Structures are given as C-alpha cells and as structure tokens.
Amino acid sequence: MDDFNSYAKKSGGNKGNGAPDNIMKLVTSLANKFDGKSQTELIKAIYDEAKRGKEQGTLSNADIDNFVNMLSPMIDAQKRKILFKVAEEIKKI
C-alpha cells in the first residue's frame, strides 16, 4: 500500500480542495488492491501504513484530515463513522 503522502504527489496536483485530480483512479486502484479483502483487513492495512508514516514523521494529522475529507463523501454513513474513528486513533500515535 502506498503511503498517504504519495497520493497527492502521484495525482499531479489538486483543485484546491485537498483531493487529487484523478481521485477516481486512486479509488479504483485501492479498490482493486483490496478486492476480496474484509473490512477488518482493510482497516488494519490503513492503520499499519498510517502508523508507519507517523513514526517516520512522513504523515501529519493534517494529512490524515485531508485523506478523511477526500474519502468520506464517497462512502456510506456506517463506513464514514469507522473512518472517523480510525483517523482519530491514528492521530494519537
């Protein structure tokens, strides 16, 4: 899994809202990477990657907020609640 900071770098820029220009390409790539995986496996992979980024100093709380703001409109309320909870836990690292 790519680190969170690489998403924006790979996208070629953004439209000023924190979301990469090619968000659908990113979402499709992530969906394909985790196709057939359980929600638990997905959450664990996100958490582990974010933890590594936080420990290495390459992921800030602002990066986490940008990621959540980019992804949250694309998921249902139940998944959004989980996303917010995971993000808050990651920010504590």
pLDDT score, position 30: 66
Is-above-0.75 flag for pTM? Answer: no
Half-sphere exposure of 66 (CA within 13 A, CB side): 18
* pLDDT tens figures, 14-55: 444 445 545 566 566 666 777 788 888 888 887 888 888 888
Which of 68, 74, 66 lies closest to 28 in space, CA to CA? Answer: 74
pLDDT score, position 5: 53
Q: Would you kindly state where each structural domain of the chain is located, as residue ranges? A: 4-9+23-91
pLDDT score, position 85: 92
pLDDT score, position 84: 93
Residue 83 in tokens: 């996303």
Looking at per-residue pLDDT, the higher value among 63 and 8 belongs to 63
